[in-house]
């Protein structure tokens, strides 16, 4: 495993996104199997694990806390605040809540579920239009000063919000979707992050599984799988979007790699401070994903991928409309 820096926070070059272990992409997986998978990831060099209070709610943090407790001091745990979730019942309104007092209460609750005394990286999950970002950054600064949080992160935040937050409490990492399937961050975000010295954590780096080549026009998802709601994964646009998968398949065949490895390798090659967090519930997929770290994509390979991908006009939005409304990108 190679290691990279998010700001001054060192993590494995690939992290593990844990969201799908307790649902979202269909029913959650067996708890004991997921604990074993998390241990397997660590044994293969992964030190960066991503969760959130909203995943469940609460169930994902509790799973990760149990799994990582024996190796707590050897890993980096990232979790998130920012949705309006009742801390007792888990009931949620669907809205945001980044009031400073709520942020601090979420942190205390997360510490208990994660069975730890500090959160290494604490992201605002979505920007709250009702709370100035300076107040949010100030609340996290208080948590850092108290030793409860190590680093501050933002998720799905725009450049102006990032600048304002960074002026109050330095931002260590920004998390936004980024892959060959969604290249929005290239417009201005990557340039700004480089200028500010902020690391970048792309979520959904395999396009919710689409770039693995395992999803085609005939694929059906479980009824409670979030991908049923994603416009660019709708059956009527998959045929057109499969052209992008053919790009990574072509390079993969030549490199004796898989499409997933090429897609992740392409991301890793963009900047040395990019740390994707692919998720999985299967050990063989974990092994496959980690193989991307050692994949050597030459400048010619990267130029070919970019040139061929530029010919594909991806159809459909990256997220459902209601979710897109909560992003700044």
Is 55 in the active site? yes
Distance CA 9, CA 32 (A): 30
Query: Which position among 25, 55, 123, 178 bears the catalytic label?
Result: 55
| DSSP E strand boundaries for 100-241 | 119-124, 149-155, 171-177, 199-203
Question: In the Cβ-directed half-sphere of 193, how many Cα atoms lie within 13 Å?
Answer: 30
Establish how many alpha carbons lie within 13 A of residue 148's alpha carbon, considering only the half-sphere containing its beta carbon.
19
How many angstroms separate the Cα of 301 from the Cα of each of 4, 167, 177, 250?
22, 39, 23, 10
Distance CA 281, CA 38 (A): 9
Burial track 201-214 (b if 16+ CB lie within 10 A, e otherwise): bbbbbbbbbbbbbe
Question: 80: part of which helix (H) or strand (E)?
Answer: strand 76-81
Residue bearing tokens 């920004």: 174
How does DSSP classify residue 98?
Answer: -
Residues carrying an active site annotation: 55
């Amino acid at each position: 495993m190679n290691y990279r820096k998010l700001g001054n926070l060192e993590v494995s070059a690939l992290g593990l996104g844990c969201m799908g272990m307790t649902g979202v992409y269909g029913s959650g997986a067996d708890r004991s199997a997921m604990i074993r998978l998390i241990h397997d990831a660590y044994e293969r060099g992964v030190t960066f694990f991503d969760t959130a209070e909203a995943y469940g709610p609460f169930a994902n943090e509790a799973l990760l806390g149990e799994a990582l407790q024996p190796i707590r001091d050897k890993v980096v745990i990232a979790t998130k605040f920012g949705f309006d979730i009742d801390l007792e019942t888990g009931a949620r309104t669907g809205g945001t809540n980044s009031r400073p007092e709520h942020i601090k209460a979420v942190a205390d609750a997360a510490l208990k579920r994660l069975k730890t005394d500090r959160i290494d990286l604490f992201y605002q999950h979505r920007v709250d239009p009702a709370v100035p970002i300076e107040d949010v950054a100030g609340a996290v600064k208080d948590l850092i000063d108290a030793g409860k949080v190590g680093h501050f992160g933002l998720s799905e935040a725009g450049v102006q919000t990032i600048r304002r937050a960074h002026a109050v409490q330095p931002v260590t990492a920004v998390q936004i979707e980024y892959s060959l399937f969604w290249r929005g961050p290239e417009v201005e975000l990557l340039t700004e992050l480089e200028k500010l010295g902020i690391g970048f954590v792309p979520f959904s780096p395999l396009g919710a599984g689409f770039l693995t080549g395992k999803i085609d026009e005939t694929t059906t998802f479980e009824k409670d799988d979030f991908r049923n709601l994603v416009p660019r994964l709708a059956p009527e646009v998959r045929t057109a979007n499969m052209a992008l998968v053919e790009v990574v398949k072509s390079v993969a065949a030549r490199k004796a790699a898989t499409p997933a490895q090429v897609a992740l390798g392409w991301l890793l090659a963009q900047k040395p401070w990019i740390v994707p967090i692919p998720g999985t519930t299967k050990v063989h997929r974990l092994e496959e994903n980690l193989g991307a770290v050692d994949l050597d994509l030459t400048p010619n390979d990267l130029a070919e991928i970019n040139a061929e991908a530029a010919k594909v006009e991806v159809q459909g939005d990256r997220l459902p409309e209601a979710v897109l409304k909560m992003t700044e990108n």
